[in-house]
């Protein structure tokens, strides 16, 4: 995604609608991703805004982490793992997409911690 595609400071109604449309396109593309053949990649990105669409996050929400994306072979639409349906991603625990396995371990609260077992 180009850094200049959306300006975080530009929160006009048109830009809000453009961000909604951008996410809707990715969610729709996510419905067509086959976990067995998907291409997977990752980038360092804001964990609360993996596409970098804005609006600008307050300092207390500024957190960068490894964000995973998948796409169908030949597609130019990368979809955040967060936007994949449970049927594609295997749910919040035990994802296996495009041959890239993530394992889930229950922490003391019973929640899932995803740890990548791939060597991207």
Q: Using CA atoms, how far apart are residues 83 and 38, in angstroms rounded to an integer? A: 14
pTM score > 0.85 for this model?
no
CA torsion, points 9, 54, 28, 1, in degrees to nearest 10?
90
pLDDT digits (tens, 9 = 90+) for 16-46: 899 999 999 999 999 999 988 999 999 999 9
Q: Are 102 and 116 in contact (CB under 8 A)?
A: yes
Helices (H) and strands (E) in the chain, counts: 2, 6
Q: Are strands 96-97 and 79-80 parallel, antiparallel or unpaired?
A: unpaired
The SS3 call for residue 105 is: strand
List CB contacts of 76: < 8 A, sequence separation 6 or more.
none
pLDDT digits (tens, 9 = 90+) for 84-106: 987 766 544 445 565 554 433 33
């Amino acid at each position: 995604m180009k850094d200049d595609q959306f300006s975080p400071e530009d929160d006009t109604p048109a830009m809000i609608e453009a961000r909604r449309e951008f996410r809707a396109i990715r969610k729709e593309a996510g419905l067509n991703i086959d976990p067995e053949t998907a291409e997977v990649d990752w980038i360092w990105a804001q964990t609360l805004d993996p596409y970098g669409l804005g609006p600008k996050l307050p300092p207390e929400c500024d957190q960068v982490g490894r964000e995973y994306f998948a796409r169908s072979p030949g597609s130019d639409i990368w979809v955040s793992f967060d936007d994949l349906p449970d049927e594609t991603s295997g749910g919040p625990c035990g994802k296996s997409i495009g041959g890239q396995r993530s394992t889930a371990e229950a922490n003391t609260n019973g929640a899932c911690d995803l740890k990548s077992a791939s060597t991207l």
